[in-house]
Structure 1
Amino acid sequence: MKRIKSICTVPVLLLMAACTPTNDFSDLQRFTTEVRGRPGGEIEPVPEFKEYEAFTYSAAGFRSPFDIPIRINLQEGMSASQNVKPDLDRVKEPLESFAIAELAMVGMVERNGHYVALVENGLGEVHRVLRGNYLGRNFGRVVSISATQLDIVEIVPSGSGGWMERPQSLTLVR
């Protein structure tokens, strides 16, 4: 027990000796007096900054750069005809409430030798599309489906009071 007391007493005595106040700060006072005696320097003026010009975003009406691009192939051969007109009495299909640019072919399924296209609408829903189905706001009718492409014929106003067919296609988005 005496041994433990002596072992504990030695560090306590060392700490007390180290913490005794000695007021010998003469070297520190000499240094601060020397630094204060030096002449002050010139402070550089604050640099002038250019006035901030706010950026105005002018492409708000365009397609978002974060959306998957849709390749729409406008084919030549748009022709106006007196016999071409949309069937206004037909019941509209769900994909006819979306523009062609909002639709994307995201897949294809083959059943009994026939292709079924998987088309995603602007809301993220996927629909099965067969040959003969309608899609798009311009009375678009699916005329053929291949493994990588969906061919559509739209009926659009010709500008002269009639209607004309406009071929379009949606390609498979990978």
Structure 2
Amino acid sequence: MRIVLFAFCVVLAGCSSEDHENLRQWMVDNSKDLRGNVPKLPEVLPYQPVPYEVESLLDPFKPNKIEPESKYKQASGKGGAFQPDFEARELRNSLLEKYPLESLKMIGYLNVNNRPMAAIQVEEKVKQVKVGDYIGLDFGMVTKISDKEVELRELIQDSAGDWSERKSSLYLQSTEGSKK
């Protein structure tokens, strides 16, 4: 056992020779200007609660804000100045009022007794319209007909139940270049 201990001490003494002194000196020279630089953490501000007051805001989940109170008669003061006449629409019972404007096509222009008329196609049916007729789902009334377009005044309802006007057009659809 003494021999093993003596051999271990000799090996340990051999590792501590002066051969590594130049390595130690190089480490000291190259690390003398190095300093750890960790930036300071930002100051933590105290929590300030923000009041959440929703009593005066509209509830987006109430169905009466999405749909009018009654389809035919809304309460006075609601609906705005452009509220449409639902009963007149039912009485007209026009085919062109049962389709969205995007599915209607202007396919022709007519001038009958100096009155402009447009030929409107929906699915496989063709109907003639004149100024004052209604087309589309949004109470679109024809205001002007030219050889290239039909201009409309539509009534649309926003999420608050108010009605407003917007202008739309149907343009003449050319069939040139298409094979039928």
**Scaled by the length of structure 1, what TM-score is found?**
0.51
Deviations, residues 56-113 of structure 1 (Å, cap 9, x unaligned):
xxxxxxxxxxxxxxxxxxxxxxxxx821011111123110111100000000110122
**Moved beyond 6 Å, runs of 4+:** none
Structure ranking higher in helix proportion: 2
Counterpart of 2:118?
Answer: 117
Counterpart of 2:82?
Answer: 84
Counterpart of 2:131?
Answer: 131
* CA–CA distance in structure 2, aligned partners of residues 124 and 103 of structure 1: 11
**Scaled by the length of structure 2, what TM-score is found?**
0.50
Are residue 144 (structure 1) and residue 125 (structure 2) matched? no
The alpha-carbon deviation at position 130 of structure 1 amounts to 0.8
* CA–CA distance in structure 2, aligned partners of residues 105 and 126 of structure 1: 9
Amino acid at match of 2:86: L
Deviations, residues 114-165 of structure 1 (Å, cap 9, x unaligned):
11100001x2211000111111111111111111110011111022221011
Amino acid at match of 2:107: V
For these two proteins, the number of residue pairs brought into alignment is 93
Counterpart of 1:98?
Answer: 99
Give the alignment's Cα RMSD to 1 decimal: 1.2
Unpaired segments ≥5 residues, structure 1: 1-80
Amino acid at match of 1:86: P
Secondary structure at 1:89 match in 2: helix
* CA–CA distance in structure 2, aligned partners of residues 154 and 93 of structure 1: 16
* CA–CA distance in structure 2, aligned partners of residues 165 and 101 of structure 1: 18
* CA–CA distance in structure 1, aligned partners of residues 104 and 161 of structure 2: 28
Counterpart of 1:61?
Answer: none
* CA–CA distance in structure 1, aligned partners of residues 98 and 161 of structure 2: 24
* CA–CA distance in structure 2, aligned partners of residues 172 and 107 of structure 1: 7
* CA–CA distance in structure 2, aligned partners of residues 99 and 89 of structure 1: 19
Percent identity among equivalent residues? 29
Q: Could you say which structure has the greater relative contact order, defined with CA pairs below 8 angstroms and 6 or more residues apart?
A: 1
* CA–CA distance in structure 2, aligned partners of residues 129 and 102 of structure 1: 16
* CA–CA distance in structure 2, aligned partners of residues 157 and 139 of structure 1: 11
